[in-house]
Structure 1
Amino acid sequence: MIDQFALQDQNALLQTALDKIGSTFIRHGGIDHAWKVLERTYKYGFRLHESQPGYIYGESRCGKSETAHRWIQHMTGKRPVRGSSLVNGKEEAILCQVIEGRGVKIVYLDLTNGASPLEACKAILKVFHYQRPMTRMKQTEATGLAIGMLIARCVDCVIVDEAQQIFKGEGEQSANAIAEWLLPMANARAFKIILIGARSLERLFRVQSAEARHFGVALLEPFKFNTKVNQGLWAAFLEMFLEKVPARTGALRVDGDAKKPITERNVFNFYYATRGSPGELAKFLETTVICAFERNNGVLPDQLLLEDFVEAFEFLWRHDRRMKGANPFSIVDRKEIPTISLSGPTTFKEQPEETRPSAPKVGGRIHAR
């Protein structure tokens, strides 16, 4: 029985360690700019006759939603709830939430499950206890009623996360669908609007009505590794992230000394593994801690060994085509590691330069929060 309790204690310690890594949030230039878009859109997102939506878009696992959640918590003292809720005995994804506190009321829409503008409007009505049947409601009617409800309930800001999910097809009409939904809400000039989404959200800027109305734009991307400056920014970010790992990382450092910086080779190894994505880095470190925990017979170790990183890489990416069959943590000669792009992701379809919103280049400062 003592052993069983000891095992439970160790499992609890492991989960605490994983939660600490998973909740790590490190501010850098891109995050700071996204925060500024949220802040300024909330404060100054009205023009004389319309609202000006703010936009945060970019690659997956680069902090878009987490930044929005933390900003909402900063404004209201509360965070959006993730996951699903029980509705009439059935599990349903939480599509719409009202988050209120400190004199601020925010409606947060999460379109992860591919909700249409019509479904989003119905969700707004539902969360405010609209009583009439909505089965036969059309988009135009639903939008008008949702706007009226938002005005009546004194909502300050509407945030639409995973907004790119509205794009049902690849043609122009898919972008027009969201633009036609946004236009009456912007014209109401009664609440601020912020859209968050994947890189494909930039297609919205090909629609003239949306392009003319946008306010601040933030593009969140993985770190780059193509210049000395970018390599230094990635190294600084990596160091701050490793500080959150509840185990020594001397195996990664110069002379094996936990007080010295990470070797240049290991800085590159981490970039190769994660392609500069903060979310991928968190996942990799969580998996490394799990591998170390198992290596140490179910006891959380006080240090991570190189073999733990090798094993974690194999577990996560052994059959990932992006890795080209190479595990950088187990290869001695860097020249044997396949060449990869060091200037950002290449998985999205490049769009002509003129279709992209102008997002200023940001970077330089990195600090933990």
Structure 2
Amino acid sequence: MKRRVQEHFRNKARQQGLSGARTREGHHGTRIFLARLALVWMLWIGLSIGAVLYGNLFCALLWGPFAFALGGYGHEAMHAGVLSYARGNRFLALITLDLAGLSSYIFTATHVPLLHHVYTNVPDKDPDIEVHFPLIRERFDQPRFFFHYAQHLYARILYTLTLPIIWVMDFVTAATGTWFGPWAKLRKPDTKETLLLLAFKPVALGLWYVLPGLLHGWAYGALLSLIMIGVTGLLVQATFAVNHQNPLAMNHDQRPSRHTRDRGIQKMETTADSSNRHWLPLLFFGGLGYQIEHHLFPTLSYSQLNEVAPIVEETCREFQTPYHYYPTIFNAFHAHYRFLKRLGTSEGKQDNR
């Protein structure tokens, strides 16, 4: 598969007349992709003005989807996928992730080299399937408590709290060098990154949590903040969840495999794509509809993954390897919450339903 994808990009570079180091330009964001970035960022700023300064509820409601779309660009910038130069990717992460209240430094340090991309869905390794417990049971080998019977219902509420929780945890991680307790030990930020953290965190706090209350009264301001931050958190957690925490991708250690579980096989068995046949849903779900391809080739821009996906799917079919795909995001959401319901009401084993 890797050889076929590399050959695809070599052929593409030859067709574009690129050679040498410039052949890697085809890995990054296309012109249309970058134009959408500029448009979405400007619209997000406009929605921020409408929601925060003018107290418009409609702008507050749209703020979350646009923030998450920009978060997709920031996430990709962390993987060096948007632009061909590191400083540009770092700046992009700052004006998308950090401006919304998430430290791109902490996210990069925990998400890319240490945890999720290395130990996807591996029990006691991947924090994405550990940090929600005991409030949410996501594995069959975790203890089940009485309140898990309703976890498929209250999970939605917990997901809305994602951004304020991460806002606090970024400080804890920067101070202690650990993420959510035992998960990952990372190098503490240097002086430059510490200053960036201390600069952007108060800005995000002031813009999205405090200023609405000062301008519109604390009750209405809290409503505006809840809508903006809550919708964003729900989209963030729900989308990451449907990619990895569903009956197709979870508890893979309880299923037989045709192949030795090397890195590539493990990525495909523990990841699912969804709703990636059109650019619009792909944009507003942060590019995560190509999650399989992203995990296999994390430095590629998701604007290039529509070319990679057919190669991956065909190779999986040829070697009889799972390729998990939900046709719509609603199918994926339904599968995730149904999976949570089964985990909350049964001690049963994986059945892939």
Quick check: TM above 0.5? no
**Larger Rg computed on CA atoms:** 1
State the TM-score, normalized to the length of structure 2. 0.30
Greater strand content: 1
TM-score, normalised with respect to structure 1: 0.29
